[in-house]
Structure 1
Amino acid sequence: MIKHHIYWWNLENLFDVENSPRRSEFLNNHLGAELNGWNATVLNQKIANLTTVISKFNDSAGPDILGVCEVENEFVIELLIDAMNLALNKDYGFVISEGEDKRGIDTALIYDKAKYGPEQNTFSLRIIKRNTTRDLFQVHINTATGNKLICILNHWPSRSGGELTSEPFRIMVAENLSYWIERIYEEQGKDAAILLMGDFNDNPYNKSITEYLLAINNKALVKSNRVRLKYFYNVMHRFLDAQIGTFVFGNEYNMLDQFMISKSILSEKTSLPFKLSSAAIIDYPELTSGSYQKPVKFGRPNSSTFNQNGYSDHLPIKIVLIEKDLTA
């Protein structure tokens, strides 16, 4: 049996330096003064802070797979990976979806090259509303035993403008993702092992998740062979009454960061390779503050909330999958 320790973390605005030559003129103009003071010293401090936390993952062995969002480009991911490799004595690789988000923040997947590969197949789905949304990013992870885990990274439209006003945009993404998942099953078979991860900007009980993406808290319905619809099991439901959230707004806990698994991972069939073992919210003492355990954000130098000792405005989450070597 092989354990896969998989994490997700919204890194909160991991930007390249202000006026970076790697940034398009359009994006420089759009960001405006947002990155004033975001120099190499600040960026390196942000990378160092993130690395101290990531180095504690998996009992200080480091993550096997780490999905992230709010990263600008390959340059900042490479800085993070260099720091991780040095701290953990590992050799991490990455794949990134560089889309056309108007703030220039994307999703990426980091993986231990000693355990996966050598190549990971990737696909991106770009969804258009009035402006291009952040991509849905599909990565086929190939394990050492020859099994395939399909990871889909998500960073859905934000709640800016209000939860209800912005809800139709997240419903639109959920509908597109549901259609895309149908195509995955057609290509990969009905027992495809699919792991959805991301910052969905909705809670597990919001209708974009339950009614459109069909990710629910009913294991029996997910596993049922009598229903036509292909449900996902949302592993984050169990934390809704835990007095902690991956994102805290005011005094309200939110479970915006979630893992969801396909039927095959939840099934008890011995012929299927992946099984759910556990899930967790990572709430190390240094990551939270106050009575509501609010994530300690890093912020930006031009903001009153800038804290060079901070990390992110979201908490990381973890899922452990057990893989059976079906060739043994």
Structure 2
Amino acid sequence: MASTPPHHPTYNVRLDEADISDIIHLVDPSRTVLSVEQLESGRSFNNRIYFIRVTPSDDSNDATADIEDFVLKVSGQFFGPDKVQNEVACLHLIEHHCPPVPVPRVVAWCEGGKSALKVLTRFEDGQSNILTRSADTDAKRGWLLLSRVPGRPLETTDLDDKENGREIMQQLASIVTQLRTKIPTADRFGNIAISGLEQHRGSLHASLEVKGLILRHLIPDRPILTALEYYHIRLQDQLQKLETEPALTLLREKIAARVRHFTSHSLPTLPQSASKPTFTHYDFSPRNVLVSDCSPARVTGLVDFEFAGFFPAEEDFANTAVNNEGDWPADAYEWFLEGLEAYGVETPLRGFSEERWRGGE
């Protein structure tokens, strides 16, 4: 297996089978690990991923219960507890508001350091609660234990056949529409934190709070109430990166002053957008879409919500065009946008309404 470069988030981030067995035992002492498979290097940038097969739980009350498969995501070296909390919160919101949407279910998590392990329990009335269990060891990195969604990552070749490709993108349009419309908008922009668990008696739903952004170089010091404030903080974070990383010296000399001027002088004068904080995946790419092995392939899941949150409604499209540029074949992404438009979601395909951009002025 190729070694991981020191600058990579997963450098020196790994667990052995004994560590993984200890985690499973803490979550459910009646289970036994049958096998552990690590996702090959290069397939996940921000996390070390393990696929775990375990025996059925003694609590299943089903003599014919099947062996279960889980995914263990261990956070990379540059991330703190906020990334783990955010993915737990986002997956919970989807499970609560969009039950038909195929995403992983949270089983347990640890935020790293000496923080306690937390196990999410679900009840027949649809409510869920968090059980906290102490761990004797120091978890160097935060981790998240999830149910494994069936399927394989979507390949762009799955979209080559026009009829099948359109069907896949239509299914994705339906999923994304549910996320954008069924999860209520928030009163501020940002990622989601879990706070006040004791105050809320272990209720995960009552403990969610939209709070700040998961950024590498800047910590927002106030709630983000408008789209312009959101974009200002995003630019400030990238400017901080530009001004501090040695590898960006040449680029810094060319554009840093321009970015500073735009952020401090031009951006504040732009018309205020009426865009509401909308639930957004923020990494919509084929690698995060799972499909069946049968032909024609069908969507079986959407994964990787670690940077999801409540952002301006147009942000997911912008992120796909910039940070995920080239991930989607142009015609396939247009089919996706057409599907969203058919469900009443505004997209760049036909443009956003003037009311959205100018706040109804």
TM-score range, shorter chain: under 0.3
> TM-score, normalised to structure 2's length?
0.25
Q: Which has the higher strand share?
A: 1
> TM-score, normalised to structure 1's length?
0.27
Q: Which has the higher helix share?
A: 2
